Each structure stands twice: as structure tokens, then as C-alpha cells.
Amino acid sequence: MTNKKIIGVLAAALTLLCLTFPVLASGGHTVVIEKAVNDDRYAAYQIFTGDIKAGSIAWGSGITAEGQKALGQPEALAAEISGSGEALYQKIKPYQAAPTAETKVTSEKATLSDLPEGYYLIYDVTRGSDIHLMSVTGSITVGNKYEAPSVAKKVWVKDDGVHTNSGFHDASDHYIGEHIPFRVVGTLPSDLNRYAAYYYEIKDKASAGIDIDPKSIAVRVGETDVTEGYTLTMAEDGHGFSLAFNNIKALKTNGGKGVRADDTVTVTYDGILNKDAVIGSEGNNNTVVLTYSDNPETGGRGTTPEDPTVVFTYKISGVKTDSDTHKPLAGAQFRVYRQKKEGLLTNALGIIGRDEREYATAEGNVFKGWTDIRDNGTVFTSDENGRFEITGLGQGNYYIEEVKAPEGHQGLERPECVKIDAQMADVDNYLSDGKKMLTALAVEAGGMRVLGDTDTGTVAINVENTMTQQDQSTPTPDEPTPTGTAPTTTPTPSTTTTTPAPSVTAPAPTTQQTPKAATIGPKTGRDGNMTGFAAVGVLLMAAAVIYSLWRRRRSR
């Protein structure tokens, strides 16, 4: 091949190479936007070509001829460019030509390819948000500027010495009739300033077991308590509400400066656990969703996923039996009380004074509330099978006081402490499955600790009576016994306090249809704890006697 032919081939190859890669000569770059919303569409509009800093620019392909005429010289518009691109976006939106590139978001990434060098306006066209103004001189990856609002709901965990982590969490337990604080916290979008008006609606819905107290609802935006500017609509069934701001930006918060993008919207209220409350691990759910403006151009609205909380409540199931024959006894009468507050002083026998008690009231066997007046407390009576129960109690220490024993039997000598103890999983990560949240339930009474049934929320106790020579009612601890040795309940200075037992550590069985019972009665002694103490005392005394005899024998 002659030199002339070789030069011809090389020239043809060079021409073909130039025709094959025309984009690379002018750029061919890629912009990737991370953390974008899947299925949204992004578009890139070339606004200018050239070098803004050098003052040599021209209109790009993203501006129509009409727009170029209306907007004037590109240098004048370039001088108004802000870092956010908001001002530029508003000016050129009516004059946008076809985008240089557009793409659908997959795997939370928007990939815009084959972009010639220039200055671009890139944004989420689905939402009219996440606006980027950038110079493209090479491939680049950037983050999403758009942050949608969110909402989170929490329920109060009691600070009572029984629950291990008080405060607002996803799960808690309470007794029926209790006013339970709830808290909803919502955020605002990072691009709030792009909206002329912003719709913001919190929808709260509770299960049939939770009533909402409308008088307790309070609203705070940022650091400002708000009593107007929204519409509050209560659900007809009393188990929820809607709180809607047609334009939350119209509020005069922050000292009159108005709502900011970094403000939070906080709604607090009381829910009341009612007689329809579900007992056990299914729990009583309460959810919230947020509906909000999500496109300043079209007025579209978005909705967050539901965020749930759950409230548990439990049941004490008791059986009255003869301590010798273990046969059930009918006609035993009990009252249930608790301490008004933790850490109260007791008398020398460890009994809480009457002035420091709250007695349970109930409708049938369903707990209703507490009363300071003993005679107003509900009397629970064992049936022909010896059974009695009280439904709708939270964790805590309760006292069983027998006010009348079955005929021919001696009742409890003094009130017995019964503790309900529950263990929950991650209380800040509830996902609407109570069985995964409530992992264990136990009862402590009579020196025993027995697991309950988490599915039904039941802990079981067995109350034993010994037989007597005559039919008699059991004297209460405040009244004289036939021998005149009954203790008084007048509180006296003492170092004895009621200390809650440690939390449950063993998981509940997956299936336990009939929970075993913790036994209280004549063998358990004062407040259900004397059996163990008495046994230890006897052993120590025996050991001391044996040791003394051994020393004497060695010294002979």
C-alpha cells in the first residue's frame, strides 16, 4: 500500500471516529441525584452555555426562542442566579423547552446522562421540588435536597417505680379508666418557602378500647402554643380526630415571623382506656397519618405511612380454695386496693395505712377506677367454682383484702400483695404486632413468681383458707381479732417501704392455655412474703444451735 493510500485510510478512520463520538467533544457527562423518591421523574434543562465567570455565555437548549426574547440578555439573568435555583426556576418555568435529559428514579437514584457542558436547572418534575442549579463540566453525584414531612406518635409510660423506662414510647400498659397522655410530632418540608400556602392535616385514629378526650387536645407549632388557624373535627365514635391547617404558613408564630421549615407541629391529648379494651397481647392500637401539600405547582397532596402505638392491659384471675382439700370455696369476698404513691411508710407489720389506700371499683369484674373510700370499693365474690377476677389492670402492686371468708373457714389474716409484671420488646419500634411487643407476663405473690399468659393477658392467683370450728367473717386488719391481737393500720415511722420486684427476665411460653397460679394464704404470711423469711429465720436459728453445740463439744 502506497503512502497516499495509507493517509487516505487514516483520514477516513479519523472522520469515522469523530462521527461516532460527537458528544464527547462537547461533554457527554452524567449527573446522579441520590436519595430521590422512587418512580418520580427528574429532568435537566440546559439554561446557558459558555462560562459565566468569564462573562461569555449564550442561551442553552433548554430555553425557547420566545423565552430568550422575553428574558433578554442571558448575562442579565445569570446575575440573578442564587444557590438554591429558586429564583431562576420561577423566571424560566414558562419558557422551558424540551429537557436535555430526563429519567425515572430507580433504587432511589435519578441518573441523567449525555449532558453537554453548560449550566443546568435540574429538578423533580413529579413534585416540582428538589431544585438544583449547577455547572456541568464533568460527571457528578449530588444528594436530594427535598425532605418530605413526617409524623411520629408516642404514648406515655408511667414513671411509677414499676416501669423501667418512663417517658413517651411506642408501647405502654395502663388500667381501664386511666387518662393516658399521647403525643404526635410532625415535621415540615425543607422547601416550605416554595409554597404560597401549605396544607397540613393530622389524622389520629384509636381502637374501640380508647376514647379521646377532646378537651385535652393541645397544639404547638415551633415554640408557640396555637389555638386557632386550624379545624378540629372529632370522629363520631369518639375514637379519633382530624386536625387540619388549610395554610399553616399563615400562622403568626416565632414572635410574629411565621412558620419556619425547621419547626415541628406537636399535638398532645389524653386517651382513656375504656371497658371495651382488649386484654392481652393484641393490645389497643392508636395510629396517626399526615396529609400534606407535596407540589407547589399543582397543589397535589401526599400522605405518610401510618405510625402506630399500642396500650396493653391485663387481668387477675383468682380461685378460692380450702388449704387442706384444695376444693374451691364459694362466697369469699375481697376488696382490691393499691398505694396512692410509691415509697409510703407502713406500720410495724408492713401494712399500708387506710389513709394511704385507693380501692378498686368495677362494673361486674371490669375495673373502672379508684376511690379513697373503702366502703365504696367493689366487693369481688368467689362463685360456686371458687373463681373471681378483675379485668383491666396495668403493671403494678395490688393488695387483696379478704373481707368475708366462706362459711367454716378462716380468711386471710392480713392483705396480700400481688404484683403484675410485664416485659416488652423494643418499645420504640412498634410495628402493629402486639404479640411481638408483649414478650412476657408474670405474677408475684406469696413468695412465688409465676409466668402468666401473654395472649390473654392473664395472671393467676390461688387464695387459700383454713377451716375453723365455727362460721365467722374474717376481721379486717384494722379490727380486733377474737384474741385482740389484730394490728393497727395507723401509719407509724418505719424504714419499711414497698419495693417493686425486678422486671421479668424469662420469656413467656408461646402456648400456655391455663397459667399456673401463685398461692397466697395462711402459709404465706404477711403481705405474701413471710414464708420465705420465716424459713430462712428457722434455718439460721437451727444453724446457730448446731454451731453452738459443736463448739461446746470441741472445748471439752
Per-residue pLDDT of the chain (556 residues; tens, 9 = 90+): 554 444 343 344 333 333 333 333 344 899 999 988 899 999 999 999 988 777 789 999 999 999 999 999 888 887 766 545 677 788 888 999 999 999 999 999 999 999 999 999 999 998 888 888 888 989 998 888 767 799 999 999 987 667 767 889 999 999 999 999 999 999 999 888 888 999 999 999 999 999 999 999 999 999 999 999 999 999 999 999 999 999 999 999 988 889 999 999 999 999 999 999 999 999 999 999 999 998 776 778 889 999 999 999 999 999 999 989 999 999 999 999 998 865 544 444 456 666 789 999 999 999 999 999 999 999 999 999 999 999 999 999 999 999 999 989 988 988 999 999 999 988 888 988 888 999 999 999 999 999 999 999 999 999 998 887 554 444 444 443 333 333 333 333 333 333 333 333 333 333 344 447 888 877 544 333 434 444 444 445 555 555 565 566 555 5
d(Cα 20, Cα 105) in Å, to the nearest integer?
A: 29
Cβ proximity of 4 and 10 under 8 Å: no
Distance, CA of 457 to CA of 389 (rounded, Å) = 12
State phi, psi for 123 to the nearest 5 degrees: -160, 170
- DSSP designation for 328: B
Q: Which residues contact 93 (CB under 8 A, 6 or more apart)?
A: none
| Domains identified in the chain and CATH numbers | 3-143 (2.60.40), 151-312 (2.60.40.740), 314-536 (2.60.40.10)
Residue 25, SS3 per DSSP: helix
SS3 163: coil
**Residue 508's pLDDT is what?**
37
Confirm if 31 and 142 have CB atoms less than 8 A apart: yes
Q: How many angstroms separate the first and last alpha carbons of the chain? A: 131
In the block, cell 461516532 appears at: 20
> Rounded to whole angstroms, what are the CA distances from 72 to 69, 87, 158?
5, 16, 67
Distance of CA 179 to the CA centre of its chain: 16
CA distance 142 to 128: 18
SS3 category, 264: strand
Q: How far apart are CA 273 and CA 275, in angstroms?
A: 7
- The DSSP secondary structure of 203-265, one letter per residue, reads EEEE-TTEEEEEEEEEEEETTEEE-SSSEEEE-TTSSEEEEEES-GGG---TTTT---TT-EE
CB-based contacts of 501, cutoff 8 Å, min separation 6? 419, 421, 444, 449
Residue 10: what are its φ and ψ, rounded to 5°? -65, -40
Closest CA to 419 of 529, 534, 510: 529
Q: How far apart are CA 154 and CA 41, in angstroms?
A: 35
Degrees, nearest 5: CA angle 66-72-77: 115
- Give how far the C-alpha of residue 422 lies from the chain's centroid of Cα atoms, to the nearest Å: 17
* Euclidean distance between CA atoms 274 and 363, whole angstroms: 12
Q: What's at 486, amino acid-wise? A: A
Cell of 68: 430568550
d(CA 497, CA 397): 13
The candidate with the shortest Cα–Cα distance to 308, out of 166, 433, 440, 426, is 433
For residue 513, the 8-state DSSP code is S
Measure Cα distances from 395 to 118, 425, 498 in Å: 67, 15, 15
Burial 370-380 (b: 16+ CB within 10 A, else e): bbeebeebbeb
R_g of the chain computed on alpha carbons: 37
> Hey, what's the cell of 244?
387540619
User: In angstroms, rounded to a whole number, what is the distance separating the alpha carbons of residues 185 and 199?
Assistant: 16
Write the DSSP assignment of 379-422 as a string of letters: PEE--TTSEEEEEEE-SEEEEEEEEEPPTTEE--SS-EEEEEEE
In angstroms, the CA 481 to CA 526 distance is 16
- The Cα–Cα gap between 45 and 139 comes to 16
Q: Round to whole Å and give the CA distance between 271 and 407.
A: 44
C-alpha span between 542 and 556 (Å, rounded): 22
Residue 538's φ and ψ, nearest 5 degrees, are -60, -45
Nearest residue to 31 via CA among 116, 107, 93 = 116
The residue type at 158 = K
- pLDDT confidence of residue 477: 47
